[in-house]
Amino acid sequence: MPRVEFRSRPRTVFVRLITDSFTRQPRRKLLTTVALALGTAIATATLTVALDVGDRLAREFRTLGANLRVTPEADTLPLEIGGVDYRPVDSGVFLSEAQLGELKTIFWRNNVIGFAPFLDIPIVITSVGNGDYLKSYPNPNDPALRTTLIGTWYRHNVPVPNGGGVFSTGVASTNPGWQIEGRWFSDDSAEAVLGSNLAHRGAIKTGQMLEIRAGDARSQLIVTGIISTGGPEDDAIIAPLVIAQRLSGKAGQYRQLLVSVLTKPEDAFSQRDPKSMNPAEFDRWYCSPYISSISRQIQEQLPGVTVRPIRQVAEGEGQILSRVQALMWLVTFAALLAAALAVASTAGTTVLERTAEVALMKALGARRRLVGAFFLGEQWFMAIVGGLLGYVGGRGLAYTLGQHVFGVSPSTRLILLPVILGLAAAVATAGSLLPLRRVMQLDPAPALRGE
């Protein structure tokens, strides 16, 4: 009769056995739940940060400068050493700035956070002064007074085709890390900023007026700031693009374009030749924000240009991003492994203490599947509770990490909740495999005899 009774109400007996288990061994169940909560809390924090770290670091890297250089395709033979272009500033052909709005129509247009055209021309500083008084230099051909005027945008509104509105861009977006004393020029004014080395060499200060000459063309510029970049800009004058175009006679044209885009780290797939890919592989490559795929899309939108990554920037970003993400995944794996070991320890002890109970269940007719479900049900219940607690705790930990590392809290991702609950269940199952195998293979007769 006990055999019939057990089979007649299996669900009732199943729930009763699990409930009784929690009331008789609350400390061990609490220990398992805490272990799962700690493991999933660390997993939640690291996964939250890992999902944001790519975008966060990519945006931080963009303060270091642009990562793409656009030049005319029918240009002179490139002479680039260590990422620096050593061709004469007035060599080669020029591009039209009227097409620049097309950059915000490519597939990855939202990843284009800024671009700035540049037109460099050699000039001579003929005089420096204040207000109406200009002090002429006695020898305007002095090499110390010969420099380069870099024409560009600071913050310029570019109309986007097909009703895309207006996009504000310039060196304020591509090079936000440049340090300046004073203020930037206005794009529609006769103003300029001076490189720190040039300002020191010529004893030029903010507020003074410069008179410059480029061939037969002349212009007067008011110095609004002193800039320090650590690059060739420190020995040059940076002025509105329209000034450089007027002095050089290249109205509406520029020499090169620097583009700042958010990309994902390069991998073996991204380095393959697109011509060797089948249609499915090409679509995957084209629809991924690799620097190579974005470069191709820019070339498609701006005919007659060559787009080259600035390798020093792109490769350094990829290496750092890959290492940070690998570290996050390693910490996640270590936390979940530790939780699985804690579950295995408590589950093993539970099986040893309840050997007689398991043997009795089998002797009364319980199948091995039902016995296994009984133990897994316990573990999964604790996994759900521990996973929920871990998710809440992990959100707080992720907030702390985000504030200390990036200065901003990571975004809330509710999609992580089912992922964390699934990981908790997987960890509980993995930690219970060996004890569960012993339960399934237990012979009830020797166990009931105390052997």
* Residues 120 and 185 grouped into a single domain: yes
pLDDT band at 259 (very low <50, low <70, confident <90, very high): very high
More confident residue, 332 or 192: 192
Selection from 107-111, 198-202, 376-380 with the highest mean pLDDT: 107-111
Q: Of 275, 309, 343, which residue sits at a domain end?
A: 309
Query: Which domain range does residue 53 map to?
Result: 2-59+319-448
Q: Which of 277, 309, 341 is the last residue of a domain?
A: 309
Label residue 182 by pLDDT band (50, 70, 90): very high
Give pLDDT, residue 192.
94
Same domain, 352 and 436: yes
pLDDT of residue 145: 74
Angle at 114 between CA 411 and CA 183, to 5 degrees: 100
Residue 113 lies in a domain: yes
Enumerate helices (H) and strands (E) in the chain, giving the number of each: 13, 17
- 52 or 227, which is more confident? 227
| 86 and 123 co-located in one domain | yes
What is the percentage of the chain residues whose pLDDT exceeds 70?
71
Helix (H, G, I), strand (E, B) or coil at 78: coil
Q: Is residue 42 part of a domain?
A: yes
Average pLDDT of the residues in 140-149: 70
Single-letter amino acid code for the residue at 289 = P
The mean pLDDT value for 312-336 works out to 72
Confidence class of residue 447 from pLDDT cuts 50, 70 and 90?
Answer: low
- Residue 278 in any domain: the answer is yes
Which pair of tokens denotes residue 295?
């470069």
Per-residue pLDDT for 248 more than 80?
yes
Question: For the range 88-95, what are the long-range contacts, defined as Cβ-Cβ under 8 Å and sequence gap of 24 or more?
Answer: 89/120, 89/121, 89/122, 89/148, 89/255, 90/120, 90/121, 90/122, 90/248, 92/255, 94/119, 94/250, 94/253, 94/254, 94/255, 95/70, 95/253, 95/254, 95/255, 95/257, 95/302, 95/304, 95/305
Task: Tell whether 291 is covered by a domain.
Answer: yes
Residue 276: inside a domain: yes
For residue 314, tell me if it sits in a domain.
no
- Euclidean distance between CA atoms 73 and 256, whole angstroms: 11
Pairing of β 191-195 and β 217-228: parallel
Stretch 163-168: mean pLDDT: 89
DSSP 186: P
> Mean pLDDT of all residues in the chain?
79
Residues 21 and 47 in one domain: yes
Domain membership of residue 235 (yes or no) is yes
Nearest to 158 by CA among 241, 69, 244: 241
Q: Which residue has the higher pLDDT, 233 or 441?
A: 233
In this predicted model, what pLDDT tens digit does every residue of 411-434 receive, in sequence order?
777 788 888 888 888 888 888 777
**Do residues 124 and 271 both lie within one domain?**
yes
Question: 382: closest CA among 432, 319, 317?
Answer: 432
pLDDT exceeds cutoff 80 at 19? no
The per-residue pLDDT for range 402-415, each reduced to its tens digit, is 777 666 667 777 78
- State the pLDDT at residue 360: 59
Which of residues 163 and 181 earns the better pLDDT score?
181
Q: Quick check: 1 pLDDT over 50?
A: no
- Looking at the fold, whether 122 and 260 belong to one and the same domain comes out as yes
Strands (DSSP E) along 200-296, which ranges? 209-214, 217-228, 236-240, 253-254, 256-261
Segment 249-270 shows an average pLDDT of 87
Residues 197, 291 share a domain:
yes
For residues 44 and 54, which has the higher predicted lDDT (pLDDT)? 44
The whole model's pTM is what? 0.64
| Tens-digit pLDDT profile for residues 386-402 | 889 989 888 888 888 77
The residue among 309, 339, 372 that closes a domain is 309
Residue type, 354: R
Query: What confidence score (pLDDT) does residue 271 get?
Result: 82
Q: What does the alpha-carbon distance between residue 169 and residue 116 come to, in Å, rounded to a whole number?
A: 7
C-alpha–C-alpha distance, residues 425 and 35, integer Å: 13
154 and 277 part of one domain = yes
Residue 153 sits in the same domain as residue 117 = yes
CA dist 233 and 174 (Å) reads: 14
Share of the chain above pLDDT 90, in %: 24
Same domain, yes or no: 334 and 417:
yes
Residue 320 has pLDDT above 70, yes or no: no
Q: What is the mean pLDDT of residues 88-117?
A: 84
- Residue 413 is predicted with a pLDDT of 74
Q: How far apart are CA 327 and CA 317, in angstroms?
A: 15
- Residue 365, domain member (yes or no): yes
Token pair 């939780």 is found at 339
Domain count, the chain: 2
Any bridge partners for residue 84, and if so which?
A: 81
What pLDDT is recorded for position 83? 47
Interval 21-38: pLDDT, tens: 656 667 777 888 888 888
- Residues 391 and 100: their CA atoms lie apart, in Å, by 45
Q: What are the CA-CA distances from residue 404 to residues 42, 83, 391 (Å)?
A: 16, 33, 20
Q: 113 is written with which tokens?
A: 């956070």
Distance CA 405, CA 403 (A): 6
Residue 156 has pLDDT above 90, yes or no: yes
Task: Looking at the structure, tell me whether residues 225 and 296 fall in a common domain.
Answer: yes
- 197 plus 293 within the same structural domain: yes
Q: Say which residues have a Cβ less than 8 Å from residue 438's Cβ, sequence separation at least 6.
A: 351
pLDDT(183) > 90: yes
